[in-house]
Structure 1
Amino acid sequence: MFTISQLIIGFLLSFVVSILATPFVKMFAIKIGAVDQPDHRKVHKAVMPRLGGAAIVIGSSVGFLYLSPYSSYMSHILVGAAIILVIGFLDDKYTLSAGIKMVAQLLAASIVVQSGLKIDFIALPFEGILDLGPFGYVVTVLWIVGITNAINLIDGLDGLAGGISTIAFSSMLIMAIFNGNLLVISLTLVLIGSTLGFLVFNFHPAKIFMGDTGALFLGYAISIVSLMGFFKSVTLFSFIIPVIILAVPIFDTFFAILRRIITKKKISDPDKSHLHHCLLSMGYSHRTTVLIIYGLGGFFGISAVLFSNATLWGSFIILGLILISIQLTAEIVGLIGDKRKKPLINTTKKIFSFSTAIRK
């Protein structure tokens, strides 16, 4: 389908075009007033142009047109992407309500599942294949909307959403190479290239934000590529692999929802207790916080690769270690509440008690 040289050219085209497009997108954003105003919840202190995600889209589009990967689902996917881009652009310009954005995302996801790209079954240990039937449509729509919003919610620091998305795409790329999935290989390469090109201007100190145009597009793209690469596989635990790859945004979103339920706030209400906010409050610098979360994303990405090639009991062990890591991270940074030091002490005590028990 593709030669190695074609894939490399597709990657480079996306990367270079994204770099070249970003300064023009920045000027356009300022001209039309698509800027992000600082407030008590945000980290940046000056007015910043957003809409930078348009450069990612432009770079991806050029690489996509060059490679022209074929799939029977592609026309529906592109229509869904267009809806996501329009709603992202309008939000960057006018700041839309959460309800309007949710309706648009549900519409885009519904169009995708109408193409037949959906989660048909789940492979379970000891039970074999669980056929989801019509319920697969609902699960797929929830997956697309959930991941789209998870990337959007984590977009709180310079380069954070772009970096985490790149790590996720890279993990999918590695597994696609192992499986010989040329469609996923081509899509991830152009998305990695365009996102890296934008990160040249978006990493701290950022010159432009990706805005909802970029965050929603990347979330949508990740959800679609994961559907093409993993949920159609009969491999044991295949449904868990994309969850592991996206553990950072998924569990940050999960804890955000849980936190708002506990505090009796609306789920759509923003707060300043996301993972990156917690790390900043612990005294880490902006750049260090982003790099720490990159490290977490890389850890989960590597874990997903190992998990996909492990035996049954090896999968259980890796999954257990991942769950422990998530719990420790949540306790150390205090993702549920505002007290950050006490969870760290409690976690340290647990680790000490566990190590003492092992020695005995």
Structure 2
Amino acid sequence: MPILLSDPILAIFCLLCATFFAAGLVRVMINLAVLDHPGHRSAHETPVPKGGGVGVMASFFLFFPLVQDITGHSVLQADVILTAVATALLACVSWADDLYQWPPSIKLVAQCAAAALVIAGGTATAWPTHTYGLGLSLFWLVFITNAVNFMDGLNGLISGCLIVGNLFVAATGAYFGLPDLVWPALMLAGCLCGFLPFNFPKARIFLGDVGSQGCGLLAGTAALYMTRHTIQPSGWVLGPALLFPLIFDVLFTLARRMVAGQPLTQAHRGHIYQVLHRSGMNPVLITLCECGFVLWGGFVAIYVAAQPAIVGACLALPLLVAPQLGWLALAVIRTRRHPVGPW
């Protein structure tokens, strides 16, 4: 008699295939050698191939529909289709930018178009009103896409943080009432796991914009989905809490540069993680700490989930901010002992 495998086993097999397929494509991109030459904001000193995100995105798009079908989740839905089109659009534009270094305005237009497609599929918040919610959703998606891209400047930092975040979503999906996110989260985590060994602790290749912006859009979309579908009163906190280390670093850096009168669109090395690296802190330790902050954000989200929405936000914010202030204080202390020049 033929041996019939259960759906979960088949789905797990597909996840493993996606991981190894992503790793194989990353090897191809290493050999293709589209180089990232060191610049003002770079943490590397010699040219390193970029475009590892091609492997991550291609593997995700190839295996995601299969896993969805195996687990009984249709891909023929407006939100799924338009999110896929939006992510593919942004990934293609970002890969072209990796190759040709397009002006920031073109990338911003592509990000806005991708965000609009996601929202057109119905993935948006209705708070505080439907109309304002659409504008807030557009801003959120563009901001998170850029935040992930800005923070992709140290080996394993973004890929590691996103792996931790996606695994946390998969592990707690039932508690938050988000079963539809479990397998997509596992799929993206698996594809990133195929990339990670080539980037951490020593980088043989970088994600590039194609990976960081594509993953950023998916992360922002998942967070918006949580706000509409969670069964917990403060379940909406989960997405922002997992992304909070990136959000805090980017907001603090933008605010500091604005106060200092520095151009916000100019490449720089003023993010907190970059300053810590420039001060001589071990880059592996920096990455592990950032991943730990993501995990802490997940535990905070669980802690406040059952509270009313406003109470949950009031409880979560100080718990999320406190470790980031400690991280910032460490950067200040280290730069006083090991001067790094202007931030």
- If the TM-score is normalised by the length of the shorter chain, which range does it land in? 0.7 to 0.9
1:102 maps to 108
Residue 58 (structure 1) aligned with residue 71 (structure 2): no
After superposition, residues 18-29 of structure 1 pair within 5 angstroms as 18-28=22-32
The one of 240, 246, 250 aligned to 2:247: 250
Match of 2:45, SS state, is: coil
The match for 2:319 is 321
1:84 shift after superposition:
0.7
Counterpart selection for 2:301 from 300, 304, 307: 304
Residue of structure 2 equivalent to 1:84: 90
- Which residue does 1:163 correspond to in 2? 160
Q: Flag structure 2 segments of 5+ consecutive residues without an equivalent.
A: 1-5, 339-343
1:53-93 superposed Cα distances (whole Å, 9 cap, x missing partner): 00101221232032134243112111111211111101110
Shift of 1:277: 1.3
Change (3 A) 1:319 1:41: closer
Give the Cα–Cα distance (whole angstroms) in 2 for the partners of residues 85 and 278 of structure 1.
29
Contact 1:176–1:229 (8 Å) recurs in 2: no
Any stretches of 5+ residues in structure 1 without a counterpart? 122-130, 343-360
Residue 119 (structure 1) aligned to one of 104, 120, 125: 125
Contact 1:245 1:300 in 2 (8 A): yes
Contact 1:43 1:156 in 2 (8 A): yes
Q: Distance in 2 between matches of 1:54 and 1:102?
A: 20
- Inter-partner Cα distance in structure 2 for 1:311 and 1:237: 6
Task: Tell me the alpha carbon deviations over residues 187-230 of structure 1, each in whole angstroms, 9 at most, x when there is no partner.
Answer: 10110000011001111211111100100011011111222233
Could you tell me the percent identity over the aligned residues?
23
Cα RMSD after superposing both structures: 2.4
Partner-residue secondary structure (3-state), 2:130: coil
Q: Does 1:37 align with 2:37?
A: yes
Kindly provide the CA deviation profile for residues 5-43 of structure 1, in whole angstroms up to 9, marking residues without a partner as x.
Answer: 233223212211111221112223x2xxx3100133211
Alignment coverage as a number of residue pairs: 326
Out of 179, 182, 199, the residue aligned to residue 185 of structure 1 is 182
8 A Cα contact 1:241 1:307, kept in partner:
no
Residue type at the aligned position of 1:207: R
Deviation string for 1:306-332 (max 9, x for gaps)?
A: 332468868744543322222232233
SS at match of 2:257: helix
Q: Which SS does the other structure have where 1:200 is aligned?
A: helix
Counterpart-to-counterpart distance in 2, 1:109 and 1:136: 13
Which letter does structure 1 place at the counterpart of 2:258? I
Identify if the C-alpha distance between structure 1 residues 180 and 118 changes in structure 2 by more than 3 Å, giving closer, same or farther.
closer
Q: How does 1:337-348 map to 2 (within 5 A)?
A: 340=336
Query: What do residues 260-315 of structure 1 show as CA deviations (whole Å, max 9, x unaligned)?
Result: 10111222122212122122133312222222222222222222233324688687
In the superposition, the TM-score normalised over structure 2's length comes to 0.87
